[in-house]
Structure 1
Amino acid sequence: MKFNTALESIKTYEAGKPIELVVREYGIDKDQIVKLASNENPFGCSPKVKDAVRAIIDNMALYPDDSMVKLKSALSNKYGIQSNELIIGAGSDQVIEFAIHAKAHSGSKVLMNSVTFAMYEIYAKQVGAQIIRTASREHKMDEFYALYQEHKPSIIFLCTPNNPTGDGLLASELVSFIEKIDNDTLVIVDGAYMEYARFKDPSYAVEPGDLVKRFNNVLFLGTFSKAYGLGGMRVGYGIACAPIIEALYKVRPPFNITTLSLEAASVALEDELFVQECIADNFSQMERYKEFAHAKGITVIESYTNFVTLLLPEEKNSSKIAQELLKKGMIVRDLSSYGLNAIRVTIGTRVQNDRFFELTDSLV
């Protein structure tokens, strides 16, 4: 059977190993496994969310409200935008897919950072677009602008804070770059970890409402999978001027978000205190990783997220270390597929982090 030839150059996205798979492969008791690979909130979601979802469990036989009015109203109030400047996706990566299919095609060029979220390339290649990457690991806007001038891409991806490295862009630097880009180039600002950046240093906080008011070629992405602890519910969103959102709606399938997911995300926005407490604990525990890395002579990338990237010395192999940890029930992310001899570790609870330090101590 023949398939679309564009698929031949696409590598399947490798998600972090689920706990259930580790149980089957290594025979480890489920309660002994610690997953620090997918940047989930280790405290889960707000208790208010759990109560709200239980309360509507009997509604599962009915299709969800496809207007998503409750969630859109909550997000509109949060960011000071209009509902027609919003689109909701099954995770922010679905909104990425919408944007690629709406804007790019065979012959288009898509510009992104050297090391960044893998789905940008995967979705772009699905439509036959050419991938243009910068040379540096971190986002360097002079490199982006030089490549923009040379290639005139249809789409530019800026991931801040960046996944999988954790570094961020100053909001002022981001805005200065966008000001130099023509209106026919779609600039996608992926802010999946923006809640963490805003807490750590407001100068790194990109405000989507401000972007929408200033630019008609910017799409901001947010998600409930990280700080809000709803990775299993799959809810993300895109914020842009109305014409961009209108175009994205033309490639959106109906009922793409479940009733339970819509309710969970809406209620999650009502409990910001829970989210802020989780974020505060995240950065408190992150200091322990910095101390561990310093003691071991390991470079840790300054992180504005809920994870740390540990750059290992040449004599240590990230794939081997990740595999050894896996055998002991500790799931982390090996970044060798990104060209880095590094592991990415989600900041867990104090107990989970204790376990990481204990198991990793002899390996690094």
Structure 2
Amino acid sequence: MKFNEVLKNLSTYEAGKPIELVVREYGIDPKEVVKLASNENPYGTSPKVVAKIESLVKNMYLYPDDSMFELKETLANKFDLESKNVIIGSGSDQILEFCIHAKCQKGSNVLMAKTTFAMYEIYAKQVDANIIKTESSQHNLKEFSDLYKKYGADIIFLCIPNNPLGECLDKNEVYEFLRTIDKDTLVVVDGAYQEYAAFKDENKRICPKDLINSFPNAIYLGTFSKAYALGGMRVGYGLAKEDIISTFYKIRAPFNITTLSLAAAIEALKDEEFVQDCIAKNFSEMKRYEEYAKQKGFEYIPSYTNFITILFKDFVSKTVSQKLLERGMIVRDLTGYGLNAIRVTIGSSEQNTKLFKLLDEVLEELK
């Protein structure tokens, strides 16, 4: 059977290995497996969200409210916007797809950092767009600017903070760059980890209202998968001017999130205390990783997220991650990104202690 030619050389996105796979392949007790590969919130979902979902399970046979009125209103109030500025997606990934299909076709130029969220490139290649990347792995806006002046772009992707590396641009430098961008270029500010960055450093906070009012060609993306601990529910959102949102609605399929996902997101927004507590614990535990890396002589990228990237010189990251996997510890090897590094989600205190113990064992074995 023949398929679209552009799909021949298109890589498949590789998600973090699930616990179930590790149990099957290595015969490890599920209770002994720790997953620190997908940047999930290790403290679980807010008890208030769990209670809400339990009360609604009997309604699974009903389609969700496709207007998503309450969720959009709640988000609009949170960010001092209007419902017409909000679109909901099955994870923020789906809104990335809306961006590509609304702006790109064969020959379109899409500009991004060398090392960033893989789905930017995958979605762009699906429509046979040209991928333009900076030489630097981390976001370098001078390089972005030079490439934009040389090639132009239909879409620019800025991941703030950046996944999978963890670095984060300052708001002021982002705004300075955006002032040089043509109004017909769609700028996607991916704020999947913004809650963490804003907590750690106010200079990193991107205010969605300020962003889209200052730059009508920008869209801000947020998610409930990270700080709000709803990765399994798959809910994301986009915030932009009405003309962008209304165009994306022409692409959106009806009922694109579930009844339970919709209820979970609404309830999660009501428990900000839970979210802030999780974020505070995250950065407290991250200090342990920074100290561990320094003790071992490893370089790491200062992170504004709920994960940390540790770089190796004397060890091979693929081997390290595999050895950890065989011990029931799942981390993300970044060999596929051209880096000899691992990305580790900041877990609970107990999970992190176990990671350090197992990593010590692996490093000793590999000496």
**TM-score category by the smaller chain?**
over 0.9
**Aligned residue type for 1:119:** M
Distance, in Å, in 2 between the alignment partners of 1:254 and 1:87 is 12
Distance, in Å, in 2 between the alignment partners of 1:81 and 1:43 is 30
Q: What are structure 2's unaligned runs of at least 5 residues?
A: none
Deviations 1:122-174 (A, max 9, x none): 00000010100000011111100110011111000000100000000001111
**Aligned residue type for 1:80:** D
**Aligned residue type for 1:350:** S
* 2:90 equivalent to 1:64: no
Aligned to 1:340: 339
The runs of at least 4 consecutive aligned structure 1 residues that moved more than 3 Å come to none
- Identical aligned pairs, as a percentage? 60
**Aligned residue type for 2:250:** K
Distance, in Å, in 2 between the alignment partners of 1:9 and 1:53 is 41
- CA shift, 1:306, in A, is 0.2
Aligned to 1:240: 240
Q: TM-score, normalised by structure 1?
A: 0.99
- CA shift, 1:363, in A, is 2.8
Q: Counterparts of 1:292-303 in structure 2 under 5 Å?
A: 292-303=292-303
Q: Counterparts of 1:23-102 in structure 2 under 5 Å?
A: 23-102=23-102
Distance, in Å, in 2 between the alignment partners of 1:100 and 1:45 is 31
Aligned to 2:121: 121
- CA shift, 1:302, in A, is 0.3
Aligned to 2:358: 359
Aligned to 1:275: 275
Equivalent residue of 1:361, what SS? helix
Equivalent residue of 2:110, what SS? strand
**Aligned residue type for 2:11:** K
Aligned to 2:201: 201
Aligned to 1:184: 184
Equivalent residue of 2:65, what SS? coil
- CA shift, 1:92, in A, is 0.3
**Aligned residue type for 1:124:** A
- Equivalent pairs counted in the alignment come to 363
Aligned to 1:103: 103
- CA shift, 1:362, in A, is 3.2
Does the CA-based 8 Å contact 1:9-1:125 persist in structure 2? no
Equivalent residue of 2:273, what SS? helix
Q: Counterparts of 1:309-348 in structure 2 under 5 Å?
A: 309-313=309-313, 315-348=314-347
Distance, in Å, in 2 between the alignment partners of 1:346 and 1:110 is 29
Distance, in Å, in 2 between the alignment partners of 1:94 and 1:303 is 25
Distance, in Å, in 2 between the alignment partners of 1:107 and 1:114 is 19
Aligned to 1:350: 349
* 2:124 equivalent to 1:135: no
- CA shift, 1:57, in A, is 1.2
Distance, in Å, in 2 between the alignment partners of 1:84 and 1:148 is 30
**Aligned residue type for 2:281:** D
Aligned to 2:212: 212
Equivalent residue of 2:294, what SS? helix
Aligned to 1:18: 18
- CA shift, 1:215, in A, is 1.3
- CA shift, 1:195, in A, is 0.2
| CA root-mean-square deviation | 0.6
- CA shift, 1:9, in A, is 2.0
Distance, in Å, in 1 between the alignment partners of 2:288 and 2:64 is 43
Equivalent residue of 1:362, what SS? helix
Distance, in Å, in 2 between the alignment partners of 1:9 and 1:174 is 33
Deviations 1:269-313 (A, max 9, x none): 000000000000000000000010001000010000000000111
Equivalent residue of 1:324, what SS? helix
Aligned to 2:286: 286
